[in-house]
Chain A
Amino acid sequence: MKSNALWLRAQIIRAIRDFFWERGFLEVETPLLIPANAPEEHINPFITLPCWQLQTSPEICMKRLLCTGHQRIFQISHCWRSDERGSRHLSEFTMLEWYRAGCDYLDLMADCEGLLQHVASVCLPGNPVYRRKSREIDPFQSWRRISVQEAFLRFGQVDVWDCLQKGLYEEILTAQVEPGLAEFSEPVILMDYPSKLAALARLKPDQNILAERFELYMGGLELANGFSELNNPVEQRRRFEEANRLRLEKCIAPLPMPEPFLRELSDMPPSAGIALGVDRLVMLAAGADTIDQVVAFTPEEL
């Protein structure tokens, strides 16, 4: 019954807040309606008024707060992505993001472990495990870390660079790698993405074909995406322009540049930030098959 899922949802959001408050994070609220999101090849914002869009993620504004000296911030807010609807997607969804100055993606992995253990013990007392398709995922087991290349070789028997070149990356990832990750009964960190799959992440200093980016999977469900932040404005502008060039190639409208963000980016200390889908966390806690089961209303019901 849906009211159970809504209770669980409320408890999870409260547990998330407690977790970050106890660790000295500042809870922030940034505007949902903004002039420009980070231009990405495959993310389409809702354009509302001329020159204004709904946020696809609070990242631009939150990183600007890091530029002004905030050290640890978190936010739970709604995000909108046009044309995304499926059993795991809603065009309007709830996102948790947190950012830490002076840290990198390895610190975020540790945060994820602490957060998911905290949420499970508070919201799922008695049996603190997550569930996906009748499989239990125990956040208290030691977490598995696997690089993107290792995962493609192991579950797809293919080289990820080869897949990228042939345009098969998404197909192999969803048809072979994710089902492979679903077999583990512990959370999995898929890490070190090819640099072209990281629009805003810092490259690995010793291996610049890889970016310091990871995704957290539980039961094969993608739950969070985190990375060490790129803070070089020249490189960041180049990547945004590349995203717009790829959009134009496919006849999709290019997106405006977030100019104030690019202007201030050089003031951002080395930092790391991560986005976690709250609806999906509720799905995992409730053992729900679809995102429809954990929201008060789907767009079709409105």
Chain B
Amino acid sequence: MYTVADLKKGLKITLDGDPYLVVAFDFVKPGKGQALYRTKMRNMINGTLLDRTYRSGETFESANLEERQMEYLYKEGSHYTFMDQQTYEQVVMEEETMGDAKYFLLENCKVDVMLFGEKAIGIALPNFVNLRVTETEQWAKGDTSGNDSKPATVETGYVLRVPPFIEEGELIVIDTRNGEYSTRVKG
């Protein structure tokens, strides 16, 4: 249980049954008047933003969130299945909830899954993942067009810009935080 005094950016609370992340917060108190706590919160399941103003004395339920390391097993339709390797418990996440994370997941890869009660609501990816290039144009030696990058598709179907020297079948490192090419895996 939290009180308004605990409100700050980054706090996670439960509101109307959903987990919310406080993304902006300010304390206002007009001349000798009652204090107001203005918050902007993001729904951690569907991403919608919500503005709420609270007064002193109000309380909040903390969000019952747990992060567990799980293995990504497979995708079926729009469902992604993960398994806790200790308990063999499985959870399913909707493609919509996964967002762009789906582009950086390979089967059997280990990720931290965020659970709200029983429900998987997000995953924390490693900052860098290695993915194989499945499709990209051949770089014509002596190309003087001045382009310093070209599109490439990786094994998860994700398309990004890579330097011209990258060839099909090569393994590249992608920064999952911005989705950009980082370097080539040598060897």
- Evaluate whether A171 and B32 lie within 8 angstroms (CB atoms) in the complex, with A84-B27, A86-B27 already known: no
Contact call B34/A88, Cβ cutoff below 8 A = no
Q: How far is the CA of A76 from the CA of B32 in the complex (A)?
A: 20
Contact call A42/B34, Cβ cutoff below 8 A = yes
Q: How far is the CA of A185 from the CA of B37 in the complex (A)?
A: 28
Q: How far is the CA of A88 from the CA of B36 in the complex (A)?
A: 13
A40 to chain B, nearest CB (A): 6
A87 within 8 A of B: yes
Q: Which chain B residues lie closer than 8 Å to A40 at the CB level?
A: 32
Q: Which chain A residues lie closer than 8 Å to B29 at the CB level?
A: 42, 84, 86, 89, 170
Q: Which chain A residues lie closer than 8 Å to B32 at the CB level?
A: 40, 42-43, 197, 199, 225
Contact call B28/A88, Cβ cutoff below 8 A = yes
What 0/1 pattern do residues 1 to 40 of B give for CB contact below 8 A with A?
Answer: 0000100000000000000000000111111111110000
- Evaluate whether A83 and B57 lie within 8 angstroms (CB atoms) in the complex, with A42-B29, A174-B30 already known: no
B53 within 8 A of A: yes
- List residues of B (54-78) whose CB comes within 8 Å of A's CBs: 56-57
Q: Which chain A residues lie closer than 8 Å to B33 at the CB level?
A: 42, 169-170, 173, 197
- List residues of A (177-204) whose CB comes within 8 Å of B's CBs: 178, 197, 199
- Evaluate whether A215 and B31 lie within 8 angstroms (CB atoms) in the complex, with A83-B5, A86-B26, A170-B36 already known: yes
Which interface residue of B5, B26, B32 has the most chain A CB atoms within 10 A?
B32
Q: Which chain B residues lie closer than 8 Å to A42 at the CB level?
A: 29, 32-35
Binding site for A on B (CB under 8 A): 5, 26-36, 53, 56-57
Binding site for B on A (CB under 8 A): 40-43, 83-89, 169-171, 173-174, 178, 197, 199, 215, 222, 225, 250
